[in-house]
Chain A
């Protein structure tokens, strides 16, 4: 079964600083990968998804970007953080093909001060 690693688990960054959150997946190949943001401990917002190396689709315009340099690696970045970027970031992998079932990592909590 697949395992999804996210780091760092927690991060406190000043406004205007860069960001890099990493997600790696074990136990599966050619996964569909997703970045979600959860604000205020409630609803989930899909930020990016990737179906393969170098293939990134953005769901909402924002201050963030994503990259997929390797099959099992998905990175969320920002050049200059905003206060509104604070939140709980979740990486997910699409399990069975075309069923919609997702497997989530443990999340990275970002606080921008």
Chain B
């Protein structure tokens, strides 16, 4: 079975500093991996996805993620954090079929001015 794990419940970073939100996956075969962001009392918004191709995936709002097969990781990164990036971030994987999107437990990102 496929699954993703987000080891950090919360991440704090100073504005202007680089940020990393961690995600690891366990899967057989080629994973489809995603990052979503959720602002307070809102629905989730798609940020980026990895299906095949380049290991570095660029997404919305200046975010990017690196697929690392040897470390089974798909960490979300941004070179310079903004206060407005403060939100809840979810890693997810898709194992095929109509319903098989599995979300991680979420990481709360707090960017400090």
Chain A: residues with CB nearer than 8 A to chain B?
4, 6, 32, 34, 41-44, 46, 49, 51, 57, 59, 88, 90, 92, 94, 98-107, 109
Contacts and interface: CB of A to CB of B under 8 A. Distances in A.
Contacts of B41: 88, 107, 109
A42 B44 contact: no
A43 B101 contact: no
Contacts of B61: none
The number of chain B residues touching the other chain, given as a range, is 20 to 34
Contacts of A4: 43
Interface of B: 32, 34, 36, 41-46, 49, 51, 88, 90, 92-94, 96, 98-101, 103-106
B92 A100 contact: yes
A14 B25 CA distance: 40
